[in-house]
Amino acid sequence: MAQNNQPAEQDLNQLLKVRHDKLRDLQENGKDPFQITTYDVNSHSMEIKNNFDSMEGQTVSIAGRMMFKRVMGKASFCNVQDLQGNIQAYVARDSIGEDSYKDFKKYDVGDILGIKGEVFKTKTGEISVHAKEVTLLSKSLQILPEKFHGLTDTDVRYRQRYVDLIMNSEVKDTFIKRSKVLSSIRRFLDGQGFMEVETPMLVSNAGGAAARPFETHFNALNEDLKLRISLELYLKRLIVGGMERVYEIGRVFRNEGLDTRHNPEFTLMELYQAYTDYHGMMDLTENLYRHVAKEVTGSEILTYGERQMDLSKPFERITMVDAVKKYANVDFNEIHSTEEAKKLADEHHIEYEDRHKKGDILSLFFEEYAEEHLIQPTFVMDHPIEISPLTKKKPDNPEYVERFEFFLNGWEMANAYSELNDPLDQRKRFEAQEALLAAGDAEANHTDEDFLNALSIGMPPTGGIGFGIDRMVMMMTNSPAIRDVLLFPTLKNLDK
């Protein structure tokens, strides 16, 4: 294999040498592109194409990467790609001058050019720029992937996202939409009177979710710290402080596996609203999702693969017990003890741990039988208390709490509570979590004394919710994996 690849490697090395030689010649002749610091860009490709009738004959300055070049004696064509797309430039010796034209003929695909000229349409009807000046703004010393085969190796695409963005326009579109999702969320929440805040990423106690944290050491204070796994506990402190509607969009970190829907660092949005409950959070979620879908995709019907999810209708609301009854034909209202629940799990071949209680078993049944069926937008309500340490109990049934998870396409998209604001009850829940930690559950929460102190000061009735932004973007862009919506996903180090 090595011998067969050798000529190709030699050819590539020669091509790279030619590019380095061209750069050296430019530098020796006082034309070093890397000495240029600015270029006055006043137009972009799609702006020109979409407004040709009003811009025909106008002088424009565009800049971008040359993706194609065809030299035809005294005149040439090239294609320049910018943020919006690409546009053709007509470059003629008599228009830019003989010396500049000689330089242009030596430029390579991948070089970044600035072109100033008039907007016109060629005889074949292609909207173009008739160049009057061509400026080399940056010399590309690498070879871009071959155009028609492109950059197809997914691992290379993720590792070299900068090349992926150049070669695959749909990838750039995905990340433009991601930015639109975030700005659309902010517009909606700002319009609802929410205030965006920022809370610590480095914390002494990583709580608010069931996850294993990353740990680090702060040298200046000689203290061990953790990267946050959620935004919850600090945002609730702000509700205590009188900030009635707050939200944060930020990175959180969970020391867990990688798959199509999980990355160890991901973007979470959490919001908290005083004087409402989980029903208020359901209403907010419906309105938010419709707003974002309409702004980003132009429709309240989301297409993901072969499925369509209709956001225009009222979202289904079903309790976890009823969902298990519906899809597993098992009624947990008839199960009165942990022993009965475990016996039922054995009969259905559902694996559980010794520490699990009735509520944990119910959750396992839900995951096994119900989740995959929740394609259309659905709120699954009233979780067992065992899996909800920060949530208010249902007054009429204290085995369950006022919590919901929002499902779409069979995925959990959001998690919301009527927030627990009783400091005495919260202490008991933390004590139960500490017992789980001692029993070997690495994802259980530690007691957070400062948070308990905040609750003791007094927190009003509050509704809160956490949204997985990356999954939301996956849905809005029809992307098959979370890595497709993260500019730089976590990857195994190739040096190890």
DSSP class per residue in 42-101? ---HHHHHHTHHHHTT-EEEEEEEEEEEEEETTEEEEEEE-SS-EEEEEEEHHHH-HHHH
C-alpha to C-alpha distance for 448 and 226, rounded to whole angstroms:
14
Q: Is the pLDDT of residue 1 over 60?
A: no
Look at residues 82, 241, 171, 31 and name the one whose alpha carbon lies nearest to residue 483.
171
Per DSSP, 151 falls in state: S
C-alpha to C-alpha distance for 117 and 194, rounded to whole angstroms:
47
Q: What is the mean pLDDT of residues 304-308?
A: 96
Q: What is the mean pLDDT of residues 229-250?
A: 97
| Confidence (pLDDT) at 2 | 42
pLDDT band at 427 (very low <50, low <70, confident <90, very high): very high
Q: How many CA atoms lie within 13 A of 382 on its CB side?
A: 17
Lowest mean pLDDT among 39-48, 318-327, 351-360: 351-360
3-class DSSP state of 301: strand
Output the CA torsion sign for 486, 487, 490, 492.
Answer: positive
Q: Starting at the edge strand that comes first in sequence, how are the strands of the sheet with 265-274 ordered?
A: 195-196, 245-253, 265-274, 462-468, 411-418, 403-408, 378-381, 316-319
Residue 198, both tokens:
């920022």
Residue 432, both tokens:
């139960």
Look at residues 155, 158, 193 and name the one whose alpha carbon lies nearest to residue 174.
158
C-alpha to C-alpha distance for 232 and 454, rounded to whole angstroms:
13
| pLDDT tens profile 145-198 | 875 455 667 888 899 999 999 999 999 999 999 999 999 999 999 999 999 999
pTM as predicted: 0.91
C-alpha to C-alpha distance for 137 and 134, rounded to whole angstroms:
9
C-alpha to C-alpha distance for 408 and 377, rounded to whole angstroms:
5
Q: Is the pLDDT of residue 268 over 60?
A: yes
C-alpha to C-alpha distance for 258 and 337, rounded to whole angstroms:
36
Q: Which residues contact 256 (CB under 8 A, 6 or more apart)?
A: 211, 212, 262, 264
C-alpha to C-alpha distance for 229 and 264, rounded to whole angstroms:
10
What spatial distance separates the first Cα and last Cα of the chain, rounded to whole Å? 24
Q: What is the mean pLDDT of residues 205-230?
A: 92
Q: At residue 425, what is the residue type?
A: D
Residue 267, both tokens:
């973007």
**Taking the CB of residue 70, how many other CB atoms lie within 10 A of it?**
9
Residue 68, both tokens:
């194609």
Phi, then psi, of 212 in degrees rounded to 5: -85, 125
C-alpha to C-alpha distance for 185 and 292, rounded to whole angstroms:
6
| Confidence (pLDDT) at 154 | 81
Output the CA torsion sign for 439, 444, 447, 452.
Answer: negative
Output the CA torsion sign for 327, 329, 330, 334.
Answer: positive
Phi, then psi, of 490 in degrees rounded to 5: -70, 130
pLDDT band at 5 (very low <50, low <70, confident <90, very high): low
